[in-house]
Homo-oligomer: A and B are copies of this chain.
Amino acid sequence: MKKTIAIQGIQGSNHHKVAQAYFGDEVQLDECLSFDALVHSLMHGKCNYAIMALENTIAGSIIPNYALIDANNIHINGEYYLNIHHHLMALPNQTIQDITEVCSHPMALLQCKEFFKQYPQIKLVEDVDTAAVAQKIEQQQLKGIAAIATKTAAELFNLEILSGEIQTIKTNATRFVILQKEKPTNGIDQIDKASLRFELDHKRGSLATILNVMSDCKLNLTKIQSLPIIETPWKYAFFVDVTFESYENYTKAISILEIMTTSLKVLGTYKNQRNS
């Protein structure tokens, strides 16, 4: 039986690209038009895995997505880095001067903001998905409106690329995570990275002490992000990613962190994709 993979967006979106790269072509897609819908699909057993963008080099961490993973106790089972390429596309036989409105996902609009400075007449409109706009332009034969989407979307929906590679930063890698509802049962030899969340009191040196433990246990920090906890002044939550060579060292660190932090949660243990 084919696996069902929930993606944010439709066929031709960047999430679809990640699904293909990670799981191959032999999958069923569950196309979700928001990250909330994506999580809903996963929690209600409508898919085996869900793919979610988690951070990129321009906007940093997508904090609301961290909150979704945390609140629903979802597990991270893997990661994938994709270089994002944004192309401006519209119905054939139009020039960029004919375009008055560009609709796309907020993150795509943000990542192409510099490009549109030279076209002040173009209105930027948020939509739920990059590829869904391309589809809508074809279905409704919308003139004067352009989408920002992938080359695949242009091909799928018979649009013409007006300008290619319009993203501000040309090496715009986005990190996606592969999510599942149940705790993954990856073999220990497949695991060399972990995502953690913990809380600390606002006491001088509390984070330094934790990082010392990690360092002593030979964990490498690849990401750290503090977030104030809204309901609890002077308490902070930290999202931390670590890589390691020995799983034994990792479990040793975790057993110490469980004592030294509050509400320690392992969001997932998986294979580091950056080295593979």
Contact = CB atoms under 8 A, between A and B. Distances in A.
Contacts of A212: 205, 208, 212
A207 interface: yes
A69 to B, nearest CB: 14
A27 interface: no
Interface stretch (A138-146, A148-156, A221-229): A221-229
A161 B4 CA distance: 44
Nearest to A170: B230
Copies in the complex: 2
Nearest to A240: B226
Contacts of A57: 227-228, 230
A124 interface: yes
Interface stretch (A11-19, A59-67, A70-78, A129-137): A59-67
Interface residues of A, number: 39
A26 interface: no
21 contacts: A36-B117, A57-B227, A57-B228, A58-B63, A58-B64, A59-B63, A59-B64, A60-B61, A106-B109, A106-B126, A123-B125, A125-B125, A171-B230, A202-B222, A204-B218, A204-B219, A205-B215, A208-B208, A208-B211, A208-B212, A224-B224
Given A57-B228, A60-B60, 14 more contacts: A36-B117, A59-B64, A60-B63, A124-B126, A125-B126, A126-B126, A169-B230, A204-B220, A205-B211, A207-B224, A211-B211, A221-B226, A224-B225, A225-B226
A267 interface: no
Contacts of A169: 230
Interface in A163-197: 169, 171
Contacts of A106: 106, 109-110, 126
A214 interface: yes
A9 to B, nearest CB: 17
